[in-house]
Amino acid sequence: MRLMSWPALCAVGVLLPCAPSRAAAQGGGGSAGTEWTGIVTVERRASGEFRAGDKAIGFEGSQTATFTLNGDGTASWHSSFSSTTDMGGLYTIPASGSGGGFGYGSVEFNGETWEIHAGAEDDLEIRVDYTDQDRVWATQGLGAMLVEMAKAMGQPIPSLSAHVEKESVGVPGATVPARAAPGATSLSGSISETVPGGADAMGGIGTIPATYTYTWRLTKGPARSHVRIYGPECGCLDADATDKALHFIAGASPAGGTFSEFIVSSDGAAPQVDANVGGEQPSLDITGTRDTGSVTLRIRYTRNGTTAESAPFIVDFCAIDRLELADGNEHDLAFDLDGRLVVEAKTKAWRGGKDVSAELQWEIEEMGSPTSLGAEPSEKKGERITFTYQNMPKRNADFGPKKLTARTTGRCACQQEETIRTFYPDIDSNHPDDGTPNWFYYWKQTSAVPSGARPMVEFREMVSDPNMPGRPIAKYDHQTQKILISDAAFGVKACRGEVDEGRMPTGRQAEGIDCFGETVRHELQHRADAVAWWGGPGGPYGVNLLEWFLKDWDHDQVPNTVEESRPDCQPGEWTNAPIDLAKVVAQQGELVERGRRTWFTCRERPFADASDAEIDAYRQGWTWPLGSANSEDWSCGNLSKQWQGKKCGP
């Protein structure tokens, strides 16, 4: 995909922003003995939305192009670009990029005003991130259905790894007027305008306008006599490409002469010459492959009967094969139980038609403390590399995607990248701190636990709770005001599936990090109930025992006033109960047993075996949005939300 180029926008008749033709730009290199040099900057911004019914597609983008006039009719440029397309709040598509190239630039006096021209010969390469779009496709609508079908049939599930594609956007040029005396030696100023539909040229919606701002700062001085070729010194072939096309121009100062065609030679296999034009406006297009030798370009320039030749311009074509990872090109890798994660890779590289694999330089992103990173060979150079991460990091955020890069060195530096994803073994406890299971230690750092609640969340191998049947997976301990998560929370169907008001299953079932997030919110609701019902997070344990029995006859931690306001709730009886604290303490067991008969009475209970105190907690737990922490789950194993690797653990 290519975003609309700048010349396409010029065709709609916009007043100022159109870049000049090459002939117009080249013609103003400066009179004999003088030349204009300096900076012309073009900035464009667009922001708005397109609405259709209750849906809206939003777009926000900005791009800056800075042209440096070389004084010989040419200009070098550098541009940066960023945009975000919001697809109705469902997902976003961000794009960004920066780079440079060459084009034409001139300054001419037309008898009334000065005309400043600047234009690029090439487009800007950008990276468009479709990761969020893929996520929505795989979790909603048709995509989600296909994913579930693949699971049911035992087929591979589509990967939700990063999806970034290379695309291009035009570089905005300019033709702007500047008022100054005919003999001026400096020009500076700025002008802005609004271009209807200008967002279209940036990959946005055609109904959104854009604001263009042009700024210039130029000076005229003595011409520096030269004949020069402009273009890339290096042609890097993409991993899957068989060839690479390059474009070159030339300029000369003083202006007023003509160029020969380019002279193209090679010390090996010759490149394909696609176009070679001389005259007032020279240009060359060549295509090379990994076998193309080192190419030398020259051009001659004739002015007033005198011919000069440019210095040799050396061009190399470079190719690096796609990086090949170990174990069948495995991209999801996990630490083993000894705290090591090994990344092995290899590739081959060519430059100037020669194998330069031995000079490849390798890099991989590091992790935080206390993880160390080693390499073999230690100089991280050559056709093969082995990186070893030792000791798992403290931060959950240090796991995940790591960029692996192999690059050539020297004047023609190309690189090839691959992204691996790093994970930790879920049930082991080889993280650097407290001996809790890895899943608990790292999940506690994610959005599954609100940041303010993290000091309250603690691990227990087992917990007991009289309000829950069987082996509870967690408990809010009123006495310590801690949320205790047990080992039973980590398992298939550890969390109970949601039911509606009639106790019928809704089909919602939380597992893994979803069960963890749901459980934390369940227990936080018990804390909120304690504050609302008893005036503090200690709940009934924050008052003396007599007050507890007086306010909560059946001792189920739900005050009588609360149960009396809910359908079919029975607060129990206070018949023949002692009225002094000493007798309450002495007869506590008998009173609790008597009250236990009314712990399970409220009609709103989601499960028959859940006590009256569990109603709000279950409902609150089920508000946890399933899948919302998937991108933070770097555990490997059956409960992982992202793991697609082959070897997890030992």
537-582 pLDDT tens trace: 999 999 998 888 889 988 899 999 999 999 999 998 765 556 666 7
Q: Domain locations in the chain? A: 1-224, 225-317, 321-424, 447-628
The chain-wide mean pLDDT, for the chain, equals 89
Can you tell me the distance from the alpha carbon of 5 to that of 451, in angstroms, rounded to the nearest whole number? 47
Band (23; pLDDT cuts 50, 70, 90):
very low
Per-residue CA distances from 615 to 90, 567, 604, 606 (Å):
33, 12, 7, 7
CATH topology of domain 321-424: Immunoglobulin-like (2.60.40)
pLDDT computed for residue 135 by the predictor: 79
| Mean per-residue pLDDT, 296-313 | 96
Q: Taking 50 as the threshold, does the pLDDT of residue 536 lie above it?
A: yes
Q: Tell me the chain's radius of gyration from C-alpha atoms.
A: 35
Strands (DSSP E) found in 238-394:
244-253, 258-259, 263-266, 272-277, 283-288, 295-298, 300-303, 306-309, 313-320, 324-325, 332-334, 340-346, 349-351, 354-355, 361-364, 372-376, 384-390
Q: How far apart are CA 514 and CA 245, in angstroms?
A: 50
Identify the band that residue 379 occupies on the pLDDT scale cut at 50, 70 and 90.
Answer: very high
DSSP 138-206: HHSHHHHHHHHHHHHTTPPPPP-S--EEEEEEPPP-EEEEE---TT-SEEEEEEEEEETTGGGGGTS-T
Work out the average pLDDT over 575-599: 71
Please say whether the structural domain 225-317 has been given the CATH code 2.60.40.
yes
Domains 225-317 and 321-424 agree in fold: yes
- Confidence (pLDDT) at 30: 39
- If phi > 0 it is left, if psi is from -120 to 50 it is alpha, else beta; for residue 32 that is beta
Q: Are 68 and 101 in contact (CB under 8 A)?
A: no
Confidence of residue 75 (pLDDT cuts 50, 70, 90): very high
- Here the tokens at position 87 are 């697809």
Q: What is the pLDDT of residues 231-275, one digit of tens each?
A: 999 999 988 899 999 999 999 999 889 999 999 999 999 999 999
Q: What is the mean pLDDT of residues 128-149?
A: 74
Give me the count of residues in the chain.
Answer: 650
